[in-house]
Structure 1
């Protein structure tokens, strides 16, 4: 892959193809890496192009483009790859540049061009140029869209009079994210990269009338139009792309940070859903052990929630995690249980602190006449061992009324209280 070397075009078409190939490779490396690998792209466009073409012809325009190439190669003090995009534009790729570096170099280049006289034949002229640049960002989803954005940005600047610089920011609206997996994944990955996911808090209400002290942490993506995208809309996308573990780790780090700093003196417990990577990866469990050792304040205040199906399909890993949780002071919940779940295991080798029922079970509890009695019988051994039962997705008053008779220890849902951006200890 080309890195610091500048591409010298022997023909415009070959140069453009080679540039796009290198840019595409670089973007794929960026998109596939969990670590931050900054880079940027820019488009430098001649203003008043029809007038320049009429005055100097195409040979004059290409001569100006060549002078711009030489200026970039001589004056920019960073790695840069450039290409003659057409007779009025130079596009460039900054392989190792952060946003701050790209902004600094873009301003430097614009100032240098404004202060210089360019030669076309026997004539000299001052050039006006428009320059658009963007850092590599997952929300572009591809090198093509990145390049299209900076070229379109430069065109818009030039059409509006030119002699301007603009940073191009990708935007993904709620509608775009909801209808396109690539857009949703791009928004998620960029939010993880920039530490920009939002966390909402939803309390679990104790049916014994105790004050709320357990709060579910719910991740949300912020769309460009201000909408918040729920986890239900992006978790499957993350799982299919193989990055659910990255999201889970980010959520764990955030929960630990909140418990160790903002809420270290508050009598709260945070309920956190996790995928199966903590169950089937010894490396992830070792990482969690080290986090618990580094932040001992999380002991007794963090509840890790796994889908019961994941736990049952990774029995050895589940047993190892339960041993680890006991060692470092974490509580555990298995969720999405129903009357057909393996309650004998939940009362024995897979005994945990909480069992959360499935939303479908909660809905059926009020409509199936004998379900309440059957549930009381099958869950009795688990309750005797001290496991608390949680009823989620309580969305209306009729469901809530039925659940009071079910013997549930906690209820959760928008009928109880909506999730909020700040932790409310008064409800």
Structure 2
């Protein structure tokens, strides 16, 4: 048998040493106990002093590190008791020696240092009843359990233990099996069968391993059998396991009560009908919803005639065309049906519900109908549809809806001889007002302009806000002269408007670009591009102008402008002219509250004091110095950079600048700095190697570098995004999904993108205070992100009210002008 076992162990990669003499084994272990990890001991048929001495030695604490596997021809109580008493031991039969290699591996894994899994156990909340006729045992285990935080009461007999369980609620009962008057399994059975004590988790404590004792105890309701001669650590581990089950049951019971409370508060009406379709009962809520009082007789009446008799326009609905009436007659089960019910006052309301046939001993006894008023949900659905198509601030149509309308208009005009136009309106003073009077003033200006534009609109025209200070109009069925006159009237209307905010007065102008929509228009995108070019030309002509796009005149101008940007950007790349500014991202738990100084500088200083180095994060933002050293934002040149495929070079430049900064200041109090990656850069196959090389060359911890990719970029290039996140994430870099929420298709893909942060689209954040729908959206995004183990960031936080609302929605981090505008690194460091 030893030969067979050694051969099997060697085949599994082990290097066994074999001994035939127990005295020799004892001597070797005393001299070299640390040289071995596992002892496989063949239990002899006949014991001897040498065997007993070896077994005693192995029970000493100095040898507990050794894994011992006892191999025997039978499993008698003595062998089981020894294995149970000694830690890191197991008993196998010779007929099962093929399991020994796996057993060695498993026991050594368990023998390794284990994390403390009991830190989550609130032992102080667990009440234990200890029942044993021996005073010594009661004192010993009482001290052991109370010393580890448990609440313990003791009893000396089954009768006393049962009475104490009736008088005091206990979570656990640990019961000695052999007691003079009655055995412990009888107390287990009493506690189990009494409804007052059925919730007590019971276990048996015995000094003898006997199969019939264990079987009887488990049959009486005990969930565990513990032995008095086993190690105290094992005893406590068993009690902890039972306690964990008790605590889990408490959580389930709390959740069950919570769910029961929710279900009781749901506004469901219920009524029953017999096989003829006559009402047999109706609950109070159904009566209330349908306008019946307690005195109104409804039992025995036809529900079709009472409250689902008509279509939505009030015309009668024949019962043979009513699916509910048909289901009453046939006993058909209906789920999630929708219809209209009518109140006694003659008002209709939408309902949804279910019809369940009642079967008693295979005999149909009518049906039960449950329904709920879904008026609020219908209104919410209407609100959601409105939100999906409208701008939250101005209440105008949004870009998504407008582009669909433009698509329809281009198709319509292509099939007719009509002519329409697209007008793009860009406010000339918007940035100045935002910078000088604040974003609240800018928002108020946008609202006033939207009202003025709407008042001049014809019913057949379409007005939308595309974003920022850009508005768009579709003027239908006008000739070229009429369109130019209309555009000029819009420009004059803006020029005549004086915007007042506080004590300040501003003259408002707008630059208007016009693009014709006629039979020559190839696509909506082309029309938008033409109008965009026309707007830029209107601005170049001195602003407060209108300009009609002309293909033969504007193509060269457009090319010249783009080529000019191309040359400027190439020179900036070659001469390293780009600059970076950094905007902080603060933990939401440390942001400001009502009463704090709203000045951005004061906010900046206070939040930096609150946040530690391991919490401060920054986003690196690109700027290009202008002719007068003003910093040009990327919105002015990124389109040209993308058209000339310069984004990979620009993004690499930014990445290297950030890595060099982190290398230059290894002790800078910053957790990480985030860099934005464009779609062109993200799909570059050499990007990962280049970033890895930079991190190695500069010796920068990858965990201090973060990357942001927009939701649209990630979803459009899902495979490339997944590969990039996986490869750079394996180095330690983190990722954020930017502008999240701009397309709800991303919810379905979010679980496939292993990003660390979700940056919620600023359009939802800006409306948090004033728009309940935005709050619901932000709350939903936050909950979904947290369920996937991701953190959320609220962008464009401009006021303390918005900051507080974001914090209440569970957002983890805050970013925006209110908590910290973008600054040069030298300004941040105080150089």
Superposed CA deviations along residues 105-156 of structure 1, whole A, max 9, x for unmatched, are xxxxxxxxxxxxxxxxxxxxxxxxxxxxxxxxxxxxxxxxxxxxxxxxxxxx
Q: Helix, strand or coil for the counterpart of 2:692? A: helix
Structure 1 residue corresponding to 2:683, chosen from 236, 261, 280: 280
Structure 1 residue corresponding to 2:792, chosen from 382, 385, 389: 389
Once the two structures are TM-superposed, the CA of residue 338 in structure 1 deviates from its matched residue by: 1.2
* 2:727 paired with 1:324: yes
Structure 1: distance between partners of 2:829 and 2:789? 25
Residues 298 and 329 of structure 1, relative CA distance in 2, 3 Å threshold: same
Once the two structures are TM-superposed, the CA of residue 216 in structure 1 deviates from its matched residue by: 1.0
Superposed CA deviations along residues 327-368 of structure 1, whole A, max 9, x for unmatched, are 21100011011172522432x221311111122222233332
Which ranges of structure 2 fall in alignment gaps of 5 or more residues?
A: 1-559, 591-609
* 2:646 paired with 1:265: no
* 2:204 paired with 1:204: no
Within 5 Å, give how 1:76-225 maps onto structure 2.
180-209=561-590, 211=611, 213-225=616-628
Is 2:709–2:738's contact at 8 Å kept on the other side of the alignment?
A: yes
Structure 2: distance between partners of 1:371 and 1:186? 43
Is 2:624–2:633's contact at 8 Å kept on the other side of the alignment?
A: yes
TM-score (norm 2): 0.28
* 2:700 paired with 1:297: yes
* 2:810 paired with 1:407: yes
Structure 1 residue corresponding to 2:766, chosen from 347, 360, 363: 363
Bigger relative contact order, structure 1 or 2 (CA pairs below 8 A, ≥6 apart):
1
* 2:726 paired with 1:345: no
Residues 421 and 375 of structure 1, relative CA distance in 2, 3 Å threshold: closer
Matched length: 246
Is 1:256–1:298's contact at 8 Å kept on the other side of the alignment?
A: no
Structure 1: distance between partners of 2:679 and 2:669? 29
Within 5 Å, give how 1:34-113 maps onto structure 2.
none
Structure 1: distance between partners of 2:659 and 2:790? 24
Structure 1: distance between partners of 2:723 and 2:681? 10
Structure 1: distance between partners of 2:669 and 2:787? 26
Is 1:214–1:270's contact at 8 Å kept on the other side of the alignment?
A: yes
Structure 2: distance between partners of 1:217 and 1:378? 25
Q: Helix, strand or coil for the counterpart of 1:300? A: helix
Name the structure 1 match of 2:531: none
Q: Helix, strand or coil for the counterpart of 1:361? A: helix
Structure 1: distance between partners of 2:727 and 2:711? 18
Structure 2: distance between partners of 1:419 and 1:215? 9
Residues 378 and 250 of structure 1, relative CA distance in 2, 3 Å threshold: closer
Residues 378 and 213 of structure 1, relative CA distance in 2, 3 Å threshold: closer
What is the root-mean-square deviation in Å for CA atoms of aligned residues?
2.3
Residues 221 and 310 of structure 1, relative CA distance in 2, 3 Å threshold: same
Once the two structures are TM-superposed, the CA of residue 387 in structure 1 deviates from its matched residue by: 1.2
240-249 vs 280-289, greater mean Cα deviation: 280-289
Report which of the two structures shows the higher radius of gyration computed on alpha carbons: 2
Is 1:353–1:387's contact at 8 Å kept on the other side of the alignment?
A: yes
Superposed CA deviations along residues 153-200 of structure 1, whole A, max 9, x for unmatched, are xxxxxxxxxxxxxxxxxxxxxxxxxx9444443332222111121111
Which ranges of structure 1 fall in alignment gaps of 5 or more residues?
A: 1-178
Structure 1: distance between partners of 2:749 and 2:764? 19
Structure 2: distance between partners of 1:403 and 1:425? 28
Is 1:277–1:284's contact at 8 Å kept on the other side of the alignment?
A: no
Once the two structures are TM-superposed, the CA of residue 272 in structure 1 deviates from its matched residue by: 0.8
Is 1:289–1:324's contact at 8 Å kept on the other side of the alignment?
A: no
TM-score (norm 1): 0.53
Is 1:343–1:382's contact at 8 Å kept on the other side of the alignment?
A: no
Residues 375 and 259 of structure 1, relative CA distance in 2, 3 Å threshold: same
Superposed CA deviations along residues 57-89 of structure 1, whole A, max 9, x for unmatched, are xxxxxxxxxxxxxxxxxxxxxxxxxxxxxxxxx
Residues 333 and 213 of structure 1, relative CA distance in 2, 3 Å threshold: same
Structure 2: distance between partners of 1:378 and 1:417? 24
Residues 335 and 329 of structure 1, relative CA distance in 2, 3 Å threshold: same
